């Protein structure tokens, strides 16, 4: 009888696990199929454009208040000049859609505590603290609905350098600015868990969580329609108790997807977030993941950062990430007027041109069954008992033969994805050999579509 009971218990546990996994897979379905999204880092820091008092601040951008150890009073003065009159949410979302992106995540509140929305929890927001005087998230939500993109919000739940009680990561003043008070400030931050202005410590972190963070997350999940993603950032000084209060608010949006930065390790969220890097195959553990990456060298707008990635690099990054079952969240840092920098616009257009032709090989694909090739990458789709393989060729073979080692399946069709030209193949002991034109149709990434019988 005991053995029967244990067997039934094991069956029930297995059934529950299968049900839970099925529910999770359905929950993540749109996100996994999207593969490509836009990150937007925008806030009052754009007004400073990476410099304070005429000096560039090393790694400034959205961290400029911390890196430059700007006082609360001085930083809040900056907001009085922040007036993004050229902000056009419709144009932003259309640019993302034309680039082939399927979702947008915008900094609703970054570590400087400045809310890009009208908030009853703190007057330190764009509607109340700037001459612009309007919520920028409402028109963005409307534009996302118009163009069919999912909308997500980045929210700095722990660090907040303006609202009293928020956490502050300790970053020394020596990074890029010869502040005459550096030694004094660094000594103060060391003894005050990273804070450099006594005004920041006039409340406890518990009070900040209860009076600012939780109410603002409620506002974000109540006032903007469907919210697809909540992108937490930096769990500095977070506790499980604080995390539970924030996680409880997510019930307002039952379908919301969250990342892994609320509080580690007990709140893993739905996916991992490698930053500014694409993991190797060996680093992946089977969990969903998303690489967030800048188009130049900074997240928030910095007038003197001209290290823009080429269109080739951006496209090949997207392909590499998709070939490993990941998503690519590519950042744009608008300027103080609300405009995308021209190199960002150019990069998005370049990706969009490639995606119009080759998007089939990115959306709703799974990772490569082969790993990385020295000449490119592979993505795949499985339907029933058949598999479609997309070979993204970066380095075109000089001998006119592309070799796919180990591919022994029956081949139903082989063609260039762009234009549909059929290609001849030969099965050899080494694998499948595809006879290709002398010149690559697309020097960045030519896609060859191979339909096979069976799974790999």
pLDDT in tens, 323-349: 999 999 999 999 999 999 999 999 999
What pLDDT sits at residue 173? 83
Determine contact, residues 263/243, Cβ cutoff 8 Å: yes
Residues 6+ apart with CB under 8 A from 273: 231, 259, 260, 261, 289, 290, 291, 292
Q: Pull the structure tokens for residue 369.
A: 């069954």
What pLDDT sits at residue 182? 84
Could you tell me the strand order of the sheet in which 386-393 lies? 376-383, 386-393, 446-453, 411-416
Determine contact, residues 229/258, Cβ cutoff 8 Å: yes
Among the ranges given (16-20, 49-53, 260-264, 336-340), the one the predictor scored with the smallest mean pLDDT = 16-20
What pLDDT sits at residue 455? 86
Beta strand 411-416 pairing with 289-294: unpaired
Q: b/e per residue, 370-384, with b = 16+ CB within 10 A?
A: beebeebbbbbbeee
What top-level class would CATH report for the domain 376-453?
mainly beta
Comparison of pLDDT for 285 and 59, the residue scoring more: 285
What pLDDT sits at residue 9? 60
Determine contact, residues 229/108, Cβ cutoff 8 Å: no
Which fold is adopted by the domain 31-361?
TIM Barrel (3.20.20)
Q: Is the pLDDT of residue 11 over 70?
A: no
What pLDDT sits at residue 288? 98
Q: Pull the structure tokens for residue 211.
A: 């009076």
Q: Is the pLDDT of residue 176 over 70?
A: no
What pLDDT sits at residue 18? 66
Structure-token match 């008092």, residue found: 53
Determine contact, residues 240/202, Cβ cutoff 8 Å: no
Looking at residue 450, the DSSP 8-state letter turns out to be E
What is d(CA 209, CA 111) in angstroms, rounded to the nearest whole number?
14
What pLDDT sits at residue 401? 97
What pLDDT sits at residue 172? 87
Give 177's pLDDT tier (boundaries 50, 70, 90): low
Give 418's pLDDT tier (boundaries 50, 70, 90): very high
What's the chain's length in residues? 456
pLDDT average, residue stretch 263-267: 97
Determine contact, residues 347/311, Cβ cutoff 8 Å: yes
In tens, the pLDDT along 76-134 reads 999 999 999 999 999 999 999 999 999 999 999 999 999 999 999 999 999 999 999 99
What is d(CA 77, CA 301) in angstroms, rounded to the nearest whole number?
19
Give 8's pLDDT tier (boundaries 50, 70, 90): low
What is d(CA 166, CA 146) in angstroms, rounded to the nearest whole number?
36
Phi, psi of 122 (to 5 degrees): -160, 135
Please state, as a whole number, how many other Cβ atoms lie within 10 Å of the Cβ of residue 403.
16
- What is the Cα 287 distance to its own chain's centre? 16
pLDDT average, residue stretch 162-180: 84
Q: What is the mean pLDDT of the chain?
A: 95
**Where exactly does CATH 3.20.20.80 map onto the chain?**
31-361
pLDDT average, residue stretch 379-402: 96
pTM of structure: 0.95
Please state, as a whole number, how many other Cβ atoms lie within 10 Å of the Cβ of residue 234.
14
Half-sphere exposure of 168 (CA within 13 A, CB side): 35
Q: Hey, is 270 helix, strand or coil?
A: coil
**Where exactly does CATH 2.60.40.1180 map onto the chain?**
376-453
What is d(CA 447, CA 391) in angstroms, rounded to the nearest whole number?
5
Q: Is the pLDDT of residue 14 over 70?
A: no
Give 175's pLDDT tier (boundaries 50, 70, 90): low
Q: b/e per residue, 265-296, with b = 16+ CB within 10 A?
A: eebebbbbbbeeebbeeeeeeeebbbbbbbbb
In tens, the pLDDT along 216-232 reads 999 999 999 999 999 99
Structure-token match 């290609």, residue found: 423
Distances (CA, A) of 322 to 16, 32, 150, 163: 30, 10, 19, 39
């Amino acid at each position: 009888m005991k053995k029967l009971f244990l067997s039934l218990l094991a069956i029930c546990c297995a059934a529950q696990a299968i049900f839970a996994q099925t529910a999770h897979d359905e929950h993540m379905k749109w996100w996994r199929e999207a593969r490509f999204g836009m990150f937007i880092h925008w806030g009052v820091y754009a007004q400073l454009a990476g410099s304070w008092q005429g000096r560039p601040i090393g790694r400034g951008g959205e961290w400029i208040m911390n890196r430059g150890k700007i006082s609360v009073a001085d930083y809040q003065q900056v907001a009085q000049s922040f007036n993004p009159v050229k902000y056009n949410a419709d144009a932003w979302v259309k640019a993302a859609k034309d680039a082939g992106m399927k979702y947008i995540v915008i900094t609703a509140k970054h570590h400087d505590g400045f809310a890009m929305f009208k908030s009853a929890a703190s007057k330190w927001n764009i509607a109340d603290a700037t001459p612009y005087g309007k919520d920028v998230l409402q028109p963005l939500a409307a534009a996302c609905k118009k163009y069919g993109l999912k909308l997500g919000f980045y929210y700095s739940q722990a660090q907040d350098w303006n609202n009293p009680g928020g956490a502050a990561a300790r970053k020394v003043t020596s990074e890029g600015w010869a502040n005459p008070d550096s030694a004094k400030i660094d000594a103060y931050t060391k003894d005050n868990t990273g804070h450099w202005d006594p005004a920041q410590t006039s409340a406890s972190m518990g009070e900040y969580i209860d009076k600012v963070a939780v109410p603002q997350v409620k506002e974000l999940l109540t006032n903007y329609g469907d919210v697809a993603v909540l992108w937490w950032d930096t769990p500095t000084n977070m506790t499980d108790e604080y995390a539970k209060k924030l996680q409880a608010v997510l019930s307002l949006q039952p379908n919301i997807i969250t990342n892994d930065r609320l509080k580690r390790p007990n709140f893993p969220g739905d996916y991992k977030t490698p930053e500014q890097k694409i993991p190797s195959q060996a680093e992946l553990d089977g969990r969903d993941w998303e690489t967030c990456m800048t188009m130049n060298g900074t997240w928030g707008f910095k007038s003197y950062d001209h290290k823009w990635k080429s269109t080739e690099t951006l496209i090949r990054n997207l392909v590499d990430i998709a070939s490993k079952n990941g998503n690519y969240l590519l950042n744009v840092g608008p300027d103080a007027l609300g405009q995308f920098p021209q190199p960002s616009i150019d990069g998005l257009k370049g990706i969009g041109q490639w995606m119009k032709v080759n998007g089939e090989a990115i959306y709703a694909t799974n990772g490569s069954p082969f790993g990385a090739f020295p000449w490119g990458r592979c993505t795949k789709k499985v339907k029933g008992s058949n598999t479609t393989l997309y070979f993204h060729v970066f380095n075109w073979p000089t001998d006119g033969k592309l070799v796919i080692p180990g591919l022994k399946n029956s081949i139903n069709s082989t063609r260039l994805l762009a234009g549909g030209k059929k290609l001849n193949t030969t099965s050899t002991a080494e694998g499948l050999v595809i006879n290709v034109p002398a010149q690559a149709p697309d020097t960045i990434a030519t896609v060859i579509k191979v339909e096979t019988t069976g799974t790999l």
